[in-house]
């Protein structure tokens, strides 16, 4: 378990490779070493006089290989995008045209978009505000809580630290939904299943995620100890050292946590489905499934596809601008919602 | 690795120890860990407690049941169906998505121009919400949807007819094809994530290994199967573990496409959907809690088995 999570972080840390990470990857290679040599020895060995030709033939082959690789990569990329392209095209169609295989809407219309902005109940603006509010709140609590806990686990020595961190790692393996009944009953006990408390209930279910604690700890471990020791010698308290010295240095990790957590919460389905009972509190994903179930909307595809497109826009913008954090953060945390 | 590194970190004893640091440590972790422990470990213990009582949402425990809920689960045909579906899903979806993810990772790990673009493109389906992609998929797979229209236009209908699918096959609405449709949907959205995991793993293989293979005259096919694939073992283990845990937690897509009963005819009933169903349509909280713990036991067992199969999680 610890190995599992540790390894992902080691393989591709968001952080500049710290001592711990470097050690991890090196260990991998050393252990893999003997096995490799064994395998290679089995392969047929080219005779010395053949080496020259082999290289020339290889060049030609490499040329064709590259072409084939591009052909496959482009085809696959087109396949990946087709469903999204189809939803975008459909959102500009009339209802009868939506079930035709026409790539250019006949006739193109903005009716579906007008419908989405004017006729939805709750309104699309309300839905976006609900989603944004919950996602921002969860992102903020995770940034604050994961950075202080991550720092303590990385740098402060106190009895029980290893055990507590082991507990954090272990919970990464526990299915989230196992918490459904107890968490619902606890929050219901606090009256958070009624009224605006529903928002708070959703935020609380995601208030602090183990992956974020893990990510922040790994990053703090990678920052040279001398930097904070200098601050400590100058008489700074633990908290000042953390907030003034270490936190600014951890900006890349904070950015990764913020972006991934915002995206995850924006898209969240399970907990909002459980706790958001009143329509006016719905987030975009919950509203989407609600609209689909509504009479008249079920087969009225163009507006439904317009909402699908619209719901993806915020995360798409994040993805375009902060792609690096997605790629490295996912590889480092090894967990995706 | 991580923990051992932390515990054995030589820098960990630079003599700044003392009560002050203990105090600071506890002060730092107090709030985050209190919330974390209550909402995670605490809730699992609470789950176990709930599962052995007759539970009422207003009055709490009303009578001791012992292991009765667990016995009920053993003989509950819908729960069996849910387990079957979840296992079928895992058995097909995990290898399929791993294979596609690995294939993509090897493709975009080549030194080709534009590989950053392709990486970004392949991960793209993973950024959209499960609700959006599922509703999109239902639309595409409808009787009058895009899939059926495309295969008709490509003249593939005779082939599909041979396998018994009419031109207006309702892929998600037909019990025979519903789960497979969800498998394809999730393979589409998750293969990019697995690609990223495999990329991270591929980059730990040193260039020298490949150079040695090239000198020895190994072709690219041979190189892949004899060198890359076996050296990726830590990657396989990691991706497989994450994938199996994820597969057994299948909920969003099944609930959106099939509702609380996993329609049509329980074809989309999964373990987690059944848990949700028992808690929120039948308000049988104690039984739902028991189902959650059974799922937890299944996941733990499978993870331990995987650990055995892949060796003792060796190289990380």
pTM: 0.83
What average pLDDT score do residues B53-74 get? 84
Q: What is the pLDDT of residue A295?
A: 59
Select from B29, B47, B276 the Cβ nearest to the Cβ of A182.
Answer: B47
Longest pairwise C-alpha distance within chain A: 82
Q: What is the pLDDT of residue B227?
A: 87
Q: Do A42 and B226 touch (CB under 8 A)?
A: yes
What average pLDDT score do residues B217-240 get? 87
Interface test with A, best of B32, B106, B191 (most A CBs within 10 A): B32
Total Cβ atoms within 10 A of residue A320: 9
> What residues in B contact A189, CB-CB < 8 Å?
none
> What residues in A contact B253, CB-CB < 8 Å?
none
CA distance A281 to chain B (A): 17
> What residues in A contact B227, CB-CB < 8 Å?
36, 39-40
Please tell me if residue A149 touches chain B, with a CB cutoff of 8 Å.
yes
Q: Do A40 and B216 touch (CB under 8 A)?
A: yes
> What residues in B contact A171, CB-CB < 8 Å?
36, 40-41
Q: If DSSP codes are grouped into helix, strand and coil, which group holds residue A196?
A: coil
How far CA B263 is from CA of A293, B85, B172, B187, in Å, comes to 14, 12, 9, 21
- Flag whether pLDDT at B253 surpasses 80: yes
Please tell me if residue B229 touches chain A, with a CB cutoff of 8 Å.
no
pLDDT, averaged across chain B = 86
Q: Do A182 and B122 touch (CB under 8 A)?
A: no
Phi-psi region of B56 (alpha: psi -120 to 50; beta: other; left: phi over 0): beta
* Interatomic CA distance for residues B149 and B153, integer angstroms: 6
Q: What is the pLDDT of residue B55?
A: 84
DSSP string of B23-61, one letter each residue = HHHHHHHHHHHHHHHIIIIIHHHHHHHHHTEEEETTTEE
Select from A28, A72, A327 the Cβ nearest to the Cβ of B316.
Answer: A28
Please tell me if residue B310 touches chain A, with a CB cutoff of 8 Å.
no
Q: What is the pLDDT of residue B312?
A: 53
Q: What is the pLDDT of residue B40?
A: 86
Q: What is the pLDDT of residue A146?
A: 96
Q: What is the pLDDT of residue A20?
A: 30
Per-residue pLDDT tens over the stretch A188-224: 989 998 889 999 999 999 999 998 999 999 899 988 8
Phi, psi of B62 (to 5 degrees): -115, -10
Q: If DSSP codes are grouped into helix, strand and coil, which group holds residue A93?
A: coil
CA distance A231 to chain B (A): 13
Q: Do A178 and B314 touch (CB under 8 A)?
A: no
Lowest mean pLDDT among A323-327, B164-168, B225-229, B242-246: A323-327
Q: What is the pLDDT of residue A27?
A: 27
DSSP string of B137-206, one letter each residue = HHHHTSTTSHHHHHHHHTT-HHHHHHTT--TT--TTTSTTTHHHHHHHHHHHHHHHHHHHHHHHHHTTS-
What contacts A127, CB < 8 A, 6 or more positions away? A120, A282, A283, A284, A287
Q: If DSSP codes are grouped into helix, strand and coil, which group holds residue B64?
A: strand
With beta carbons less than 8 A apart as the criterion, state whether A134 and A286 touch.
Answer: no
- Flag whether pLDDT at B304 surpasses 50: yes
How far CA A240 is from CA of A189, A218, A231, A237, A247, in Å, comes to 38, 20, 9, 5, 10
Q: What is the pLDDT of residue B44?
A: 87
Q: How many CA atoms lie within 13 A of A186 on its CB side?
A: 20
Please tell me if residue B132 touches chain A, with a CB cutoff of 8 Å.
yes
With beta carbons less than 8 A apart as the criterion, state whether A165 and B6 touch.
Answer: yes
Low-confidence ranges of chain A (pLDDT < 50): 1-56, 334-337
* Interatomic CA distance for residues A337 and A268, integer angstroms: 8
Q: How many percent of chain B have pLDDT more than 90?
A: 47
With beta carbons less than 8 A apart as the criterion, state whether B53 and B285 touch.
Answer: no
Interface test with B, best of A127, A169, A182 (most B CBs within 10 A): A182
Q: Do A181 and B292 touch (CB under 8 A)?
A: yes
| B112: nearest CA partner in chain A | A66
Q: What is the pLDDT of residue B311?
A: 63
Please tell me if residue B89 touches chain A, with a CB cutoff of 8 Å.
no
How far CA B265 is from CA of A16, A57, B176, in Å, comes to 52, 58, 10
Select from A11, A25, A174 the Cβ nearest to the Cβ of B44.
Answer: A174
Domains of chain A and CATH, by start: 121-333 (1.10.3720.10)
Domains of chain B and CATH, by start: 70-143+171-309 (1.10.3720.10)
Per-residue pLDDT tens over the stretch B89-127: 999 999 999 999 999 999 998 888 888 889 989 999 999
Please tell me if residue B285 touches chain A, with a CB cutoff of 8 Å.
yes
ipTM for the predicted complex comes to 0.86
| B59: nearest CA partner in chain A | A189
Please tell me if residue A229 touches chain B, with a CB cutoff of 8 Å.
yes
* Interatomic CA distance for residues A44 and A42, integer angstroms: 6
Residue closest to A151 by CA, chosen among A246, A19, A259: A246
What contacts A144, CB < 8 A, 6 or more positions away? none
Burial B51-67 (b: 16+ CB within 10 A, else e): bbbbbeeeeeeeeebee
Pairing outcome for strands B53-56 and B60-64:
antiparallel
pLDDT, averaged across chain A = 79
Q: What is the pLDDT of residue B64?
A: 85
Please tell me if residue B186 touches chain A, with a CB cutoff of 8 Å.
no
């Amino acid at each position: 378990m610890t190995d599992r999570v540790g390894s992902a972080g080691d393989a591709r840390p968001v952080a500049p490779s710290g001592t711990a990470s470097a050690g991890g990857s090196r260990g991998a290679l050393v252990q893999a070493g003997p096995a490799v040599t064994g395998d290679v020895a089995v392969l047929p060995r080219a005779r010395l006089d053949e080496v020259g030709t082999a290289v020339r033939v290889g060049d030609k082959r490499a040329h064709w290989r590259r072409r084939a690789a591009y052909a496959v990569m482009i085809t696959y990329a087109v396949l990946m995008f087709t469903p999204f392209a189809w939803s975008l095209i459909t959102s500009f169609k009339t209802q009868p045209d939506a079930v035709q295989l026409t790539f250019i809407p006949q006739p193109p219309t903005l009716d579906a978009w007008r419908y989405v902005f004017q006729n939805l109940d709750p309104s699309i603006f309300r839905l976006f505000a609900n989603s944004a509010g919950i996602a921002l709140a969860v992102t903020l609590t995770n940034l604050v809580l994961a950075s202080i806990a991550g720092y303590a686990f990385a740098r402060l020595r106190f009895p029980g630290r290893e055990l507590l961190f082991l507990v954090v790692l272990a919970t990464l393996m526990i299915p989230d939904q196992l918490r459904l009944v107890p968490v619902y009953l606890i929050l219901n006990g606090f009256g958070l299943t009624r009224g605006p408390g529903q928002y708070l209930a959703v935020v609380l279910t995601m208030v602090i995620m183990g992956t974020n604690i893990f990510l922040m700890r790994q990053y703090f471990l990678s920052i040279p100890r001398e930097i904070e020791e200098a601050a400590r010698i100058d008489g700074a308290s633990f908290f000042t050292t953390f907030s003034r010295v270490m936190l600014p240095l951890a900006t890349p990790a904070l950015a990764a946590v913020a972006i991934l957590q915002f995206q995850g919460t924006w898209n969240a389905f399970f907990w909002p489905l459980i706790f958001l009972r009143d329509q006016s509190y719905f987030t975009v994903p919950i509203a989407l499934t609600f609209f689909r179930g509504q009479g008249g909307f079920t087969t009225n595809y163009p507006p439904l596809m317009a909402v699908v497109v619209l719901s993806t826009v915020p995360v798409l913008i994040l993805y375009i601008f902060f792609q690096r954090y997605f790629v490295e953060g996912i590889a480092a945390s090894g967990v995706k919602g | 690795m991580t923990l051992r590194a932390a515990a054995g970190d030589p820098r960990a004893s630079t003599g700044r120890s003392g009560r002050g640091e203990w105090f600071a440590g506890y002060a730092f972790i107090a709030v985050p860990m209190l919330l974390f422990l209550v909402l995670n470990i605490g809730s699992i213990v609470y789950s176990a407690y709930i599962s052995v009582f007759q539970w009422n949402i207003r009055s709490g425990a009303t009578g001791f049941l012992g292991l009765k809920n667990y016995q009920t689960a053993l003989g509950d045909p819908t729960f069996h169906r849910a387990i079957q579906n979840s296992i079928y899903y895992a058995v097909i979806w995990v290898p399929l998505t791993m294979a596609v993810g690995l294939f993509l990772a090897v493709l975009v790990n080549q030194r080709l121009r534009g590989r950053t673009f392709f990486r970004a493109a392949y991960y793209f389906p993973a950024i959209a919400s499960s609700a959006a992609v599922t509703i999109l998929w239902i639309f595409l797979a409808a009787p009058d949807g895009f899939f059926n229209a495309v295969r008709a236009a490509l003249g593939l209908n005779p082939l599909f007819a041979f396998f018994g699918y009419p031109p207006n096959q309702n892929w998600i609405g037909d019990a025979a094809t519903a789960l497979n449709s969800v498998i394809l949907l999730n393979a589409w959205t998750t293969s990019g994530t697995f690609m990223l995991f495999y990329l991270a793993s591929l980059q730990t293989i040193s260039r020298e290994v490949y150079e040695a293979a090239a000198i020895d005259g190994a072709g690219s096919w041979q190189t892949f199967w004899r060198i890359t694939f076996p050296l990726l073992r830590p990657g396989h283990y990691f991706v497989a573990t994450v994938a199996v845990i994820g597969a057994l937690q299948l909920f969003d897509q099944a609930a959106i496409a099939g509702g609380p009963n996993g329609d049509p005819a329980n074809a989309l009933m999964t373990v987690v959907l059944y848990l949700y169903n028992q808690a929120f349509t039948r308000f049988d909280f104690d039984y739902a809690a028991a189902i959650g713990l059974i799922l937890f036991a299944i996941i733990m067992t499978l993870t331990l088995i995987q650990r055995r199969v892949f060796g003792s999680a060796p190289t990380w």
